[in-house]
Every structure is written in C-alpha cells, then in structure tokens.
Structure 1
Amino acid sequence: MKKITLIAFFTLAVALLSKAQETRPNILLLIADQHSGKVLTQNGYPYLKTPGIDKLADEGVTFTRSYCTYPVCTASRSSFMTGVMPSKSQPNLTSYPGLGNALKNAGYETAYFGKWHVGHSKIKKVEDWHGFSVYKDERDDSKTEAMTIDFLKQKHDAPFFLVSSYLNPHDCCELARNISGLGDNYHDGPVEEKMAVDQCPPLPVNFAIPPDEAEGFYCRRTPDPSDRVMFGKHPVKYWGETEWRQYMYGYDRLVEKMDSHILSVVNTLEKQGLLENTIIFYTSDHGDGHASHQWNQKMNFYEESVNIPFIISWKGHTKAGVIDSKVLLSNGLDLYPTICKLAGADYDESLLGEDISQYLLGHSKKLTKKRKYVVSEINQETKTEDGKVVFKGRMVVSQRYKYFLFDGGENREQFFDLKNDPGELKPVTDDPKYKKQLNIHRQYLKEWIENASDEFLITNIPQI
C-alpha cells in the first residue's frame, strides 16, 4: 500500500511540474541594431510608420528614458548576455553566466537567430557558455525572420526563450557610404538614397554642434578622406543639408524594413495562439546620430546615440499602451534580472541591474532600488602625431541632467540640463547657477565607481 502511495505521489509531482512548465510564459527578445529611441513614434517622431513596434506598445509599456551601457554593438550586447557593464563583461565574457544558459537551466527551450556580435566572441565558439540549443548568426533580416517564424510554428514541449536579432537600421552605415560615393551593399535590400529633399524630414532642431565639445567626441568627427578607416565610418565631411536630410530619410526607411519583420513575427505569435502567453521585449544595442549635432553613427553620449527603445509587452498582463517617461532604465543591466525573474530562473541578485517585472505587471508602483541615475561607458580611440590615444569616458544621466567625463582631452567634463536643453546644445558646465547640481553628479559618478568596482579612476573627477 505504501509503495502504491509513493508511486502516486511521484506521478502527481511530475504532473504538477509538467503543468508548471506549461504555464510559465514564453519569452521573446527582439533586438534591433542602431535604432535610436528618438526615432520612435511612441516618442513623438512623425516621419515613419512602425505597425509592428506599435502593436507591441499598444499592449505593453514603452520606456522612453532607457539607455544602453555603451554606444557600440559588441560592448552593449555583452551586457545583454551577462547583465554586467561592458568594461567588465566584454574582455571576460565567459566568466559571467550567460542569459541563454540561465533560462536553459530553468527548463526553457532556447534559440537565437540573427546578428550575434556579443563582445569579441563567435557564437559557435561559446556554445556551452551561451546556452542556446538552436542558433544561427545571420545578418540578412529576411532570413532571421524566416527562422524565427519557423521556430514559432514548431511544437514546443516546454516554454521557450527565443532571441530574434535584426541588423537594421544598422545599414545606415552602408547608406552613408553610398551617399558619399564610396559604395557598399545592403544586407536586406536597398533604400532610396537620393530622395527629393522636399520629401525628406527637416534637419533636427539640434543639428548644430554644441560649443566646447569634448575631445572624446570631436576626435572622431568628420575625418579626412585620407583616413580611409574612419572616413568609411563617418563619410560626412562634405555633406550639406541635402545629404543629411537624405540620410535621415533612408535611415527611417531602414527602421521600417526592420519593423516589417517584427510585425510578421508578432502576427505569427497571434496566429499560433501564443501571444497571450509570450512576453515580448523590444530594444536596441544603441542608437544613431540621425543628423543631430551633424553626427552619423554612434560612439558618443548624446541622446540620439545612447537613448534606445525599450518596450515590454505581454498581452493581458502588462499595463497596456503606457508611455513611461519617468523611470530610468539601463537595457544592458535590467534585461537580465527581469527576464530571469519572469522565467523563474536563478541569477546572481548582486547584479547592478533592476528586476522591473513587478512594476511591469502593475504589482508595484515604483522600482525597488529607487534608481537616481544610469551610467554608460565609452572608450574613444584616435590617432595623433604621437600615436594612438584612447579617451575613456563615463556618462551619468539623471531625471533632469546629464554629466559625462573623460580621463583626458580638452573640455573633458560636460554637463547638460536636459529639461531646458533637451537637444544638448548649451553645456552648463561652467555656469555658476548649476554648480550644486554639477557637484551632485560628480558625486553620483564617484558613488558608481565605488559600488560597481569600476576601473574608471575616481581621481579623474574634479574636486567637489
């Protein structure tokens, strides 16, 4: 009798475990490359149509104050997969638990399709670390969409964690080279490069270059064509208003190309009856200058480059259609703990990121850590007569202000009032009226360095 009871107990336990596995949500992480949070309909940008992203936003929460940990692909993506700042995670990637493995160990079926570019790793070389059972590093977004949809149509015996990572609008780099006559090939089809200027968006209100720009930025600005490497990245030295507006037009079309793939994926989820049991995250590794401050590409701390889209959508569960312009988020730090918590996966709770799951689901009106600021990093390399120079920089952005500091160069300390100067055109670093707030943000950086064991030297910070 006891033996029968024991068998019945284990049978019931297995059944309950199986049921728990079935009821846990699927998780879909959609990643764009180089999509600026400023070029988003939810942020008021009117010159593009994104029905795919809009569909997610209509059922979820859009955070307009979300920032990347580093405005370049490899570094930012290393944070996605570790929840750790790039200065630590990029050079020592596999020493930190990978996000895919965390969910795989929690019983999730794991898959990754699309652009990888995580740190300096090759996806095939770190298979045991990343934990994705099925994967393909792919730069053609149409192929990434096809693999994603094929996966969604398959039968799944466990909840899945799927990453669908798109290249665009990163092909704006190819667009810029083509506008300048250098020639390059697009990865997912071309866009119009010479649109009539009256059909293009107007120049941004912050097209001008701010005075006293930090050398950590301008060392990279408008390189001479003789510098073939850097001119290939920023081929804008001879652009006028027409070229800049044509660039903006083409960039917007690349966003729309990427969005069409997202719409197809979301529609497939709906047709498969998976939409109400799938949490969807949409974000980007960094933004793009999009002509602000006469800048294309990324690699600076201006809002267009470091502010990125961050939408979390779970139909019937997340607060629907909310545009949150208050909460400060770091997508590279906050994705990891939030995804793990929603999946019931174990993770190191000493990570610096914030689990925002309870806030998303309406169970809490505030984030538990009451974050006052977020931080981003950059290492800016330039050539001088004396050889190569690297300027290391840190950005601290709070509700109203932005502070950044480099370890060298001219005008290495910068301070902006984002409320009165959202376009970052008038640094107030030397304005006596802002001295108190400047010192507060210097203190924020000092606090961050100490709490995060950041390699950036406290001695770089001017004395308060």
Structure 2
Amino acid sequence: MSNKQPNILFIMADQIAASALPIYGHPVVKTPNLSKLAESGVVFDSAYCNSPLCAPSRYVLMTGQLPSKIGAYDNAADLAADIPTFAHYLRAQNYKTALSGKMHFCGPDQLHGFEERLTTDIYPADYGWFPNWDDLKTRPTWYHNMSSVTQAGPCIRSNQLDFDDEVVFHAQRYLYDYVRREQDRPFCLTVSMSHPHDPYAIPQEYWDRYQEDEIDPPKITINKEDQDPHSARLQEVYAYHDQALSEQQVRNARRAYYGAISYVDDKIGMLLKTLEETGLADNTIIVFSGDHGDMLGERNLWYKMSFFEGSARVPMIVHAPQHFSAKRVKESVSTMDLLPTFLEMATNTTDHHYAMPIQGRSLMPHIEGNAGGHDEVIGEYFGEGAIAPLLMIRRAQYKYVYCAIDPEQLFDLENDPDELINLATNPDYADLCKAFKQEALERWDSDAMTQDVLISQRRRRLIVKAMNKGKKLAWDHQPIFDSSEMYMRNHIDLDDLESRSRFPKIV
C-alpha cells in the first residue's frame, strides 16, 4: 500500500444474505454494481457475523469484541461510551469519521467515535426491546411476527425507503463537501442502509425487475416436530405457526427481498459514481458487508437469530484495485475482524497499541494474499429465541454450535452445505465433537454468562420503567445542520459563496 493514508468508504446493508447475491452464485438476483466491485476486489466466500442480530452484530463490528465482552446481548443492549470503536481508533489517526444511516446504538452515547452523524437512526436508542429471561412464557408485543411475509409486495413509499434515500443523499453530500473544502485529513465514511431488512416491501420498479416465475422457492423444508429446540423457539418468537403461509406469500416475500437488494445496489452505484465524479475513487478503499443474513423461508425459518448459514453468513468485499489485486478468500472470517483491518489500512502497519485487547484479527494477510491469515469465527447469541447462551465455533469445514440446554450441533459445510446432517449424533465424529465441546467449555462459562444476561436485563427493565414516568428525554440522535451557512446567505460574499460551492472549481 501507498504511504498516503487512504480514504475508507464502508458500506453496510442490513439483513443481506450472502446466498442471495450473484457474486456467491445466486442465478436470479441482479446487482451490477456489487458484481463490478467483486470483479476487481477481494471477495470473502466464508464471512460471518459474530452474533446474528442487528445491535449485537454492529457492536461487535464496531469494537472488535465479542458480545459477552461488551454486554452486547440483544437489540436493547447499551454500548458503553468507554469501549473504543473503529471510529475512535481512526479518528486518533487523524481521520474524519462520519456515519450516515443505521448503527442501532442504544444508550445516551449516539456517536461512539464518529465526528459527525449525518442522519438519525431508523431504530430507537432506548432499552425497550429487551428479552426477558425471567419470564419466558410471555411473548413481548414488539417481537417479529409473520406480517412481513403475509403482507409482502410492492409499495410506493415505506419507512425504510424514506430512511435509505436520506442516508445515501447525505453520504453523497458529505463526499461533495469533502472535495469542496480542505482535504487535510482522510475520511472514513460509513454508509449503513436498512434494506433489504424486512418488511418485504419495495417500489414497483424493483418488484418488476423480477418475474414471478423466476423466483426460487426455499430449498429446505423442516417439519415442526423435526426442528431443533432453538429453531422451534424462533418460530414461537415470530409466531410462525399462527397462520398458514401460502406459496404465493413466500414467493412475494422473496421477490420483494430480491428487489430490495437491487435497490441497495442502485444506491451503491450512486455512491460509486460520486467517488468517480469527485476524483476520490483511486485513493478510497471500499468495504462492503452486512450485519447478518436472512433465512428467507429456508428450514421454515425467517429473519435471522440463528447460526445457520442463511442467518449468520454475510457478504464481504474489499475493493481497492490501486492497492490490492482481485482474489477470492475461502477461509472463514468475521465482521469482528474489521476494526483491526481498518486500522492497518489507515496506518500501513501492524504495530498497534490497542486500548483494550482486541478479539478481532486483521484481514490484511487475506487481502494482500500473504500467509498467516486466520480461518476461524467465534460466535455468541443471547437475543430473541435464546434462553441460554448459544455459542458457535466455525473452523476449517466444520461448524459447531453449543448451548447448555440444547443438543449439540456439528455440521461439515464442505460436504453438507445445507446443514441437514447433524454429525454430533454420528459415532464416527464422537472424538471431534468431544474436542469441540471441551473447547467450548474452556472458552465459555455458560452459567456465568447467563447470570450476566439476567442482571443486564433486570437493570434495563428497571431503567425503562423509571424513564417512562414523568418527563422523558429521548436518546435518539438529532442531526443538527447550521442553516446559517447553507445555500444563499447575506453574510457571505456572493462570488465567494458560489465559488466555494461549485465543483469542480473555476480556475
């Protein structure tokens, strides 16, 4: 890499399944911009999130720490202000750090190292969406249900369209403003869209990019009585069995989801065009990934919240042809590895002094094609559907899932990519399963983690109850724009105002 600090554009899509993208073999979905990035970029074929739920996954991604290390248990967990994020580390390296879009921060700190936050978040910043392990019989009203599937189809506008249109508009403006002003510091701009996250609703334009007869149905059906315990709990979480789903409803949901991916791809195309127009493309490393996937009806499961491939695996592309040659990476890595990767990209060195131990490992050996890259993902899940810690080890061709109250799961993804054969019950794999279990028991104290989760839930339950009494002060981020410095204003000479706003500048 060059000694000049590169800019970093980190693009995120919410709930985007790797298996639904043509760069990973999907024959129907259309993503010309992502495919173009992949052709000249580094594509990770086995990338995972470390906790398949929005907020925990993003906290892990931001901090390089597993959920149990930072209390990232669920979608209402607090991210402590004193946990350094990649935004803090890059800002300390003189980067401008900005976020446009979703990051699902809960708690009073809504910046976590970002110098600027260009939009509010689409999700609330309070502690209201917590599971309750003290009351497992009551299903909270805020849980997912199947309306996203039963009501899937075209729409003119939606909550998420309003949000993502704003996210990309402000991201483009940020890039335009960057080149119109002093470029004394490199930037790390995070652009985080909420699509293709359910509800599965998308404008007619994107719906019509796909014909009904080309929408592939789920490949795998698992009967209710054959589901593993965690999957059965997930079906209870989103009331899967409260209504019968028709083939048409499932097809509509998948068609709208594919349309939403094409919508995201169009937005990425807008960002790529802005980089080219502003002359920033050559010195900007583009990283694309997601926070988790979507089961999309496979195994009769929807949304995320499990360690099956559709839920836990994510796309990951690193595009910087000026710095790295195109390649495919087969080793298993995770989004937890992005913090040390971004820092190494920014500093061009592996000699870092972290403020606290980092559990993520740099992806640079993989990106540069050097020896020494890791092949391991560690996962933890404590959110909806879990009533005890759900723990995962992904290494070589195997995936091992341990939960103290559920049967073990062991899959050979090389020979069984659909995870249909649980080798934990196969005597021929008894030694391997025993070794994985021993590692899990040494790595984690499930009883202690359970108590930590319970205490965290109880604390937040009390805080929510208290803060709903009397005067309320919302933590949701409020973007502030200095209107006195925008557009036409009398305190600025007209020629100066027009000159500083025009790009390219007139010489």
Q: TM-score range by the shorter chain?
A: 0.7 to 0.9
Shift of 1:419: 2.0
Task: Give the structure 1 partner of residue 140 of structure 2.
Answer: none
Q: In the alignment, is residue 353 of structure 1 matched against residue 360 of structure 2?
A: yes
The code of the aligned residue for 2:285 comes to: I
Deviation (angstroms), 1:95: 2.9
The reply to whether residue 288 of structure 1 matches residue 275 of structure 2 is: no
How is 1:191-270 mapped onto 2 (pairs within 5 angstroms)?
198-209=212-223, 212-221=226-235, 230-231=238-239, 237-270=243-276
Indicate if the aligned counterparts of 1:210 and 1:427 stay in contact, CA closer than 8 A.
no
- Structure 1 residues 198 and 208, CA gap change in structure 2 (3 angstroms): farther
1:292 and 1:160, CA in 2 relative to 1: closer, same or farther beyond 3 A? same
- The equivalent residue for 2:170 is 147
Is 1:207–1:294's contact at 8 Å kept on the other side of the alignment?
yes
Residue in structure 2 matching 1:136, options 103, 113, 119: 119
Moved more, 419-428 or 251-260: 419-428
Secondary structure of 1:95's aligned partner: coil
Contact 1:286–1:308 under 8 Å retained in 2: yes
Residue in structure 2 matched with residue 420 of structure 1 by the alignment: 415
The whole-number CA distance in structure 1 between the counterparts of 2:252 and 2:360 is: 38
Shift of 1:347: 3.2
5+ residue gaps, structure 1: 1-18, 176-185, 224-229, 383-388, 458-464
The answer to whether residue 309 in structure 2 is matched with residue 315 in structure 1 is: no
Q: How far, CA to CA, are the matches of 2:208 and 2:305 in structure 1? A: 26
Please name the residue that 1:338 is paired with: 341
Contact 2:206 2:263 in 1 (8 A): no
Q: Any unmatched runs of 5+ in structure 2?
A: 73-77, 123-162, 452-507
Any conservation in 2 of the 1:334–1:356 contact (CA below 8 Å)?
yes
Task: For residue 437 of structure 1, report the CA deviation from its aligned partner.
Answer: 1.9
Structure 1 residues 447 and 271, CA, compared in 2 at 3 Å: closer, same or farther? farther
Question: How far apart are the structure 1 equivalents of 2:300 and 2:207?
Answer: 18
Residue in structure 2 matched with residue 329 of structure 1 by the alignment: 333
- TM-score of the superposition, structure 2-length normalised? 0.72
Cα pair distance change 1:235/1:446, threshold 3 Å: same
Paired amino acid for 1:58? E
Partner of 2:27: 46
SS at match of 2:118: strand
Distance 1:58 1:352, change over 3 A: same
- In the alignment, which of 170, 193, 196 is matched to residue 166 of structure 1? 193
- Cα distance in 2 for residues equivalent to 1:189 and 1:236: 28
| Letter of the structure 1 residue corresponding to residue 404 of structure 2 | D
**Aligned 8 A contact 2:59 2:79 in 1:** no
1:86 and 2:67 equivalent?
A: yes
1:19-98 matched pairs, under 5 angstroms: 23-89=4-70, 90=72, 91-98=78-85
Tell me the CA shift for residue 77 of structure 1. 0.6
Is 1:455 aligned to residue 449 of structure 2? yes
Q: 1:213 deviation in Å?
A: 3.2
The residue aligned with 1:227 is none
Kindly indicate whether the alpha-carbon contact (under 8 Å) linking 2:231 and 2:301 is maintained by their aligned counterparts in 1.
Answer: no
Partner of 1:276: 282
How many residues align structurally? 396
Residues 150-188 of structure 1 show CA distances to partners (whole Å, capped at 9, x for unaligned) of 111122321101000000001xx222xxxxxxxxxx5x7
The 2-side partners of 1:308 and 1:454 are apart by: 30
Deviation, 1:431, is 1.0
Asked whether the equivalents of residues 57 and 292 of structure 2 are also in contact (C-alpha less than 8 Å), the reply is yes
Among 285, 305, 315, which residue is 2:311 paired with?
Answer: 305
> What is the alpha-carbon distance in structure 2 between the residues aligned to residue 71 and residue 220 of structure 1?
13
- TM-score under structure 1 length normalisation: 0.78
Give the aligned residue type for 1:63.
Answer: F
Task: Report the equivalent of 1:432.
Answer: 427
Measured after TM superposition, the shift of residue 348 of structure 1 is 4.5
Q: CA shift at 1:290, angstroms?
A: 1.5
Q: Distance in 2 between matches of 1:132 and 1:402?
A: 39
Q: Give 1:105's aligned residue.
A: 92
Please give the per-residue CA displacement for 1:4-36, whole angstroms capped at 9, x wherever unaligned. xxxxxxxxxxxxxxx97xx21001110110001
Residue deviations 1:288-307 (CA, integer Å, cap 9, x gap): 00221011110111100000
| Aligned residues of 1:138 and 1:144 also touching (Cα < 8 A) | no
- Match of 1:80, as an amino acid? L
Aligned amino acid, residue 406 of structure 1 = C
Tell me if the contact between 1:377 and 1:395 (Cα under 8 Å) persists in the aligned partners.
yes
* Change over 3 Å in CA distance of 1:209–1:337 after alignment to 2: farther
Give the letter for the 2:85 counterpart. Answer: G
Distance 1:209 1:26, change over 3 A: farther
1:354-398 per-residue CA deviation (whole Å, 9 max, x = no partner) reads: 112243134x1331xx44x3121112545xxxxxx8232111112
- The answer (yes or no) to whether the contact 2:283–2:322 under 8 Å persists in 1 is no
Q: 1:236 to 1:328 in 2, by over 3 A?
A: farther
Q: 188-197 vs 143-152, which deviates more?
A: 188-197
Offset at 1:195?
11
Q: Structure 1: how far apart are the matches of 2:211 and 2:274?
A: 37
Q: CA deviation at 1:246?
A: 2.1
Q: Is the 8 A contact 1:210 1:425 kept in 2?
A: no
Distance 1:299 1:346 in 2: 34
Q: Is contact 1:101-1:132 (8 Å) kept?
A: no
Residue 319 of structure 1: how far off its partner (Å):
1.9
**Following TM superposition, by how much is the alpha carbon of 1:43 offset from its aligned partner in structure 2, in angstroms?**
0.9
The residue aligned with 1:393 is 390
Does the aligned pair in 1 maintain the 2:286–2:319 contact within 8 Å? yes
What is the alpha-carbon root mean square deviation over aligned residues? Answer: 2.9
State whether residues 48 and 252 of structure 1, in contact with CA within 8 Å, keep that contact through their aligned partners in structure 2: yes
- For residues 60-112 of structure 1, the C-alpha deviation after alignment (integer angstroms, 9 at most, x for no partner) is 11101111011110110111211111223224532311221211111111111
Q: Report deviation, 1:130.
A: 2.3
Identity of aligned residues (%): 27
Change (3 A) 1:197 1:436: farther
CA-to-aligned-CA distance 1:109-133 (integer Å, 9 cap, x gap) = 1111011203x235xx343x42323
Q: Does the 8 A contact of 1:29 with 1:282 survive in 2?
A: yes
Q: Following TM superposition, by how much is the alpha carbon of 1:248 offset from its aligned partner in structure 2, in angstroms?
A: 1.3
d(CA) in 1 for partners of 2:353, 2:203: 41
Counterparts of 1:453 and 1:260 in 2: how far apart (Å)? 46
